[in-house]
Amino acid sequence: MRFKYTMLFQARTNVGGTANDAHIGGWSESIYGAEGAFAISTVVFNRLMVARAQLLPSSTAIIGQRYQAVDPVGASSTGATRLPGTWASDTDIPQMAVLLRGKAQGQPNVSRVTLRGVPDELVFQGEFKNKDNYQALLNAYLGELNNWFFKARDLAAEQARILDIDANGNVVTLDAITAPVETLVRVLRTVEEDGTFVGGLFKIQTKTDNFNFKLREWEGQVTRKGRIRVETVTYPRFGNFGTTGNPFPTPRVLTRKVGRPFGQYRGRASRRR
């Protein structure tokens, strides 16, 4: 059993009331725990939330939590622990974010950590500008992430080189694919005659042998070369940020959409059925 842990955020603009209006937005950030260790992981999750709150301005807060059994899918529950942001400066738009990338531990995947709600003074001329000890707080948060996992494609799953694919989706491979009918597979960089790359997710519809099978809903392209890989999910551990071979990443500024705030009033229900 594997569990997903989610932090729920809410941010408000114009806290001082000096502008014409204010907006409230919400978003969530999720990570995955080790298999079966729910009770232990909730203690570590609290440490992670404290480190995350230190990166938020005071007008932004972690307002709740969600705990879900995801592999296999099971029950879920919520928490109401509130952790206000402790960075003493003004908020920016909640969409203002930094991207932090690093290697996974023992697997070829790359983790991409996006943190929204970056304080206003830390972005200058479109780039991240460290102030005081904010970079140190970022590094502390990444250090807490070393205890957690993220969901990713299994890049080490069974795969084969493609010889060709005809217009009906009949595939001939140079290597054996033992996956049975109805298995989800990903076509990677197979090439049409004009040089256009084709790819995507498909299911194996029928199979003659391990080198010849047909893809369901293939769109009629005739291609050659490329690879085909069985599509499975894995949970790599976040890389040991700050260690040899995986230094703390440099933050990259970007924007990511946020949603409506949590806990809104609901409008009057219609009587229409």
pLDDT tens track for 144-192: 998 899 999 999 999 999 999 999 999 999 999 999 999 999 999 999 9
Phi first, then psi, for residue 56 (nearest 5°) are: -105, 145
- Mean pLDDT confidence for 111-132: 90
Q: Tell me, what's the pLDDT at 152?
A: 95
- Which pLDDT tens digit goes with each residue over 222-255? 999 999 999 999 999 998 787 777 788 889 999 9
Both tokens of 241, joined, read 């940020």
Q: Is CATH 3.40.220.10 the classification given to domain 159-231?
A: no
Enter the tokens of residue 270: 């219609």
Flag whether pLDDT at 107 surpasses 70: yes
State the pLDDT at residue 88: 82
Residue 205 has pLDDT above 90, yes or no: yes
φ/ψ bin of 169: left (φ > 0), alpha (ψ from -120 to 50), beta (otherwise): left
Q: Where are the alpha helices (DSSP H) in the chain?
A: 38-53, 134-145
At a CB cut-off of 8 Å and minimum separation 6, what does 98 contact?
114, 115, 118, 128, 138, 251, 252, 253, 254
pLDDT higher than 90, residue 115: yes
Overall residue count recorded for the chain in this entry: 273
Question: Where in the chain are the domains?
Answer: 2-152+236-255, 159-231
Q: Is the pLDDT of residue 273 over 70?
A: no
pLDDT at 141: 94
Integer Cα distance of 54 and 60 in angstroms: 11
Please return the burial class of 142, using the count of CB atoms within 10 Å of its CB with bins 0-12, 13-18 and 19+. buried
Residue partners of 124: CB distance under 8 A and separation at least 6: none
Task: Give the tens place of pLDDT for each residue, 5-33.
Answer: 999 999 998 877 777 788 899 999 999 99
* Band of residue 221 on the pLDDT scale cut at 50, 70, 90: very high
Q: What is the arithmetic mean of pLDDT over 67-76?
A: 89
- In the prediction, which pLDDT does 212 show? 98
| pLDDT tens by residue, 78-103 | 999 999 999 988 888 899 999 998 88
Q: Give yes or no for a contact between 156 and 108, defined as CB atoms under 8 angstroms apart.
A: yes
pLDDT at 76 over 70: yes
